[in-house]
């Protein structure tokens, strides 16, 4: 084993573990690498609050897995909230559009059209347009962060990398 490989392996050691196998053999046989390893050990010992711990003692695996589970649960909650929040908007938007499409065929509106001088169609178009614009505006205002996140994700997926 050469010195470069040995030092890469020494630097990859975690939590104060000691080198084993061919790395340990090389450190014992090479004075230069042994001196460098000793300097690294001294430098670590001078760091405030640093003390070698084994993974089993520190519970590192458990902490990492707890963090992963928390993040997965938070992601699932966000996903659930996303669809439960949007389902209400989708249903109400569908009802508004359905109402706008069926209203011109209602008996009441047909009767109002027969009144001389009635401009009910223009008035109705303006009123329904205001309702639809208000609905869309409120939706965008209350979901702006989600919409921007979706837009950024879409732009990243569709952007072409320069050659």
pLDDT of residue 90: 85
User: What are the tokens at 62?
Assistant: 């458990």
**Burial classification of residue 93, based on how many CB atoms lie within 10 Å of its CB (0-12 exposed, 13-18 middle, 19 or more buried):** middle
Give me the half-sphere count of Cα atoms (radius 13 Å) on the Cβ side of residue 152: 6
pTM score: 0.41
pLDDT in 10s for each residue of the chain, 163 residues: 688 888 888 877 765 677 778 888 888 888 888 888 888 877 777 766 655 555 455 567 777 788 888 888 887 777 666 666 677 888 888 998 898 888 888 888 888 888 887 788 888 888 988 999 999 999 888 888 888 888 888 888 776 655 5
What are the sequence ranges of the domains in the chain?
3-57, 78-158
Q: Residues, the chain, total?
A: 163
Taking the chain, what is the end-to-end CA distance rounded to the nearest angstrom?
41
């Amino acid at each position: 084993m050469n010195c470069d490989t040995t030092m890469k392996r020494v630097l990859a050691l975690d939590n104060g573990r000691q080198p084993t196998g061919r790395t340990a053999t090389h450190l014992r046989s090479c004075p230069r690498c042994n001196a460098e390893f000793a300097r690294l050990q001294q430098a670590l010992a001078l760091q405030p609050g640093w003390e070698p711990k084994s993974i089993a003692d520190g519970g590192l695996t458990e902490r990492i897995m707890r963090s992963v589970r928390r993040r997965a649960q938070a992601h699932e909650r966000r996903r659930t909230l996303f669809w439960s929040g949007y389902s209400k908007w989708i249903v109400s938007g569908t009802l508004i559009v359905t109402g706008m499409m069926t209203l011109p065929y209602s008996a009441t509106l047909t009767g109002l059209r027969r009144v001389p001088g009635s401009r009910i169609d223009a008035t109705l178009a303006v009123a329904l347009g205001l309702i639809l614009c208000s609905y869309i505006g409120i939706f965008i205002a209350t979901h702006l962060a989600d919409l921007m996140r979706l837009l950024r994700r879409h732009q990243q997926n569709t952007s072409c990398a320069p050659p």
